[in-house]
Amino acid sequence: MEQLVNNIIEYLLPESDLFLYIFLFISSIIENLFPPIPGDTITVFGAFLVGTGRLSFSLVYLATTAGSVIGFMLLVLTGRFVEREFFMRKNYRFFPAQSIASAERWFARYGYIVVLINRFMPGIRSVISLVSGITRLNLLYVFLLTLVSASIWNLIWIQAGFLLGNNWPVVKQNIGVILQRYNVAAGILMAVLIAGFAAYKLLKKRGMVSGKR
């Protein structure tokens, strides 16, 4: 998939600036709907074009952020109207029933917080948006929190791609390593937090931890 994206990027370089903005916008929508698409690589491609002076920083930022928010909200609406039973029964590869059930338990306590940090949770962004709809969170709150999350995330990566310089092969290689390490670190952190929370609940159940301060 990444090689396909790279080939597409090389093909698009000679295209008009307007076409590139539209491509960044649409790809940011699609990467939410179809998780295998490496949307962060495409976002950094936009940053590379900013670094060369080809595209505007503000317009690349606007296009990718708007696309990210729209893609997220489309899945939220899908979750609200299609509902839980359909996805649990189908058990799609990228929307597995087990992940949806696990997300629902977290949403019962931390729904809006999970939405706020969704862009920083690799691999499960799409599940988060879907469960946001299934659990029928307030759409306005979800939209605003998604906007904050996408704004911060895209600013980080566009700035990182810009600072790495205007050599696309170098940018691509470095961002690939950074994203890989980030995904591993985020996965470990999530596992530690889940394990810590489970241990706390177990100790509290046994009366070893007081729920009162």
pLDDT attached to residue 44: 74
Neighbours of 187 (CB within 10 A): 14
pLDDT reported for residue 197: 61
State mean pLDDT over 89-108: 68
Q: Is the dihedral of CA 150, 65, 140, 87 positive or negative?
A: negative
- Pick from 82, 86, 127: which is nearest to 106 by CA? 127
86 vs 46, residue with greater confidence:
46
Q: Give the rounded percent of residues in the chain with a pLDDT score beyond 70.
A: 57
Burial of 103 (0-12, 13-18, 19+ CB in 10 A): buried
Instruction: Parse the chain into domains and list their residue ranges.
Output: 2-166
